[in-house]
């Protein structure tokens, strides 16, 4: 589902009431003031770092082709946002093969951890990615993965 429309429908066995509930909770979360501020920060950085590319995204995103799908609903510069809230979480190496705009992915480091690394497979490089860091890269050209080290939380009495 690409859009923020409240009409969750998935074909076959993927559609269920739990999905609809989670989907609606995520829509509410994405509309919160904190996520809106985060999105605006990422967009500002994107426009400052890549003004021509950002203008191209704005032009494409405002076209009639994308509006019915809501693909640019959350941020004019980016078609999607990923949020991971798991402890001791990592992502397997992955690459976005549906890069319709031949564009850039923005990754913002947000969470309760002591260290995060983002790895770029083809470049054979891993970089530290502390909370508050922002990185842009071409998702169709780079295979990426992340590894998070979460700090231990105190046990409540």
- The full DSSP string for 64-101 is TTTGGGTTTSS-SS-S-------TT-B---B-----TT
Please indicate, yes or no, whether residues 38 and 64 belong to a single structural domain of this protein: yes
Return the pLDDT at 105: 73
Q: What is the pLDDT of residues 36-70, one digit of tens each?
A: 787 788 778 888 888 887 777 777 666 666 555 55
126 vs 115, more confident: 126
pTM: 0.50
**H-helix or E-strand containing 106?**
strand 105-108
Q: Is the pLDDT of residue 125 over 60?
A: yes
Please indicate, yes or no, whether residues 72 and 4 belong to a single structural domain of this protein: yes
Choose the final residue of a domain: 26, 49, 76. 76
Question: Which of 95, 101, 109, 93 has its CA nearest to residue 45?
Answer: 109
Domains: count for the chain: 2
Please indicate, yes or no, whether residues 107 and 39 belong to a single structural domain of this protein: no
Q: Is-contact 91 145, C-beta < 8 A?
A: yes
Please indicate, yes or no, whether residues 90 and 142 belong to a single structural domain of this protein: yes
Please indicate, yes or no, whether residues 90 and 134 belong to a single structural domain of this protein: yes
Question: Which of 126, 85, 132 has its CA nearest to residue 107?
Answer: 132
Residue-range definition of the domain harbouring residue 42: 1-76
Residues in Cβ contact with 48 at an 8 Å cutoff, skipping those fewer than 6 apart: none
Choose the final residue of a domain: 21, 46, 76. 76
Please indicate, yes or no, whether residues 33 and 60 belong to a single structural domain of this protein: yes
Choose the final residue of a domain: 46, 76, 106. 76
Please indicate, yes or no, whether residues 66 and 87 belong to a single structural domain of this protein: no
């Amino acid at each position: 589902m690409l859009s923020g429309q409240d009409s969750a429908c998935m074909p076959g066995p993927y559609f269920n009431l739990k999905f609809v509930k989670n989907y609606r909770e995520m829509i509410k979360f994405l509309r919160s003031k904190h996520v809106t501020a985060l999105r605006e920060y990422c967009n500002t950085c994107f426009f400052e770092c890549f003004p021509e590319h950002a203008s191209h995204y704005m032009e494409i995103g405002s076209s009639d082709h994308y509006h019915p799908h809501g693909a640019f609903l959350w941020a004019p510069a980016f078609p999607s946002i990923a949020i991971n809230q798991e402890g001791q979480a990592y992502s397997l190496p992955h690459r976005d093969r549906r890069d319709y705009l031949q564009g850039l992915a923005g990754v913002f480091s947000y969470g309760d951890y002591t260290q995060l690394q983002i790895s770029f497979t083809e470049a054979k490089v891993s970089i530290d990615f502390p909370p508050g860091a922002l990185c842009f890269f071409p998702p169709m050209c780079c295979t990426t993965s992340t590894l998070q080290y979460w700090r231990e939380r105190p046990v409540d009495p």
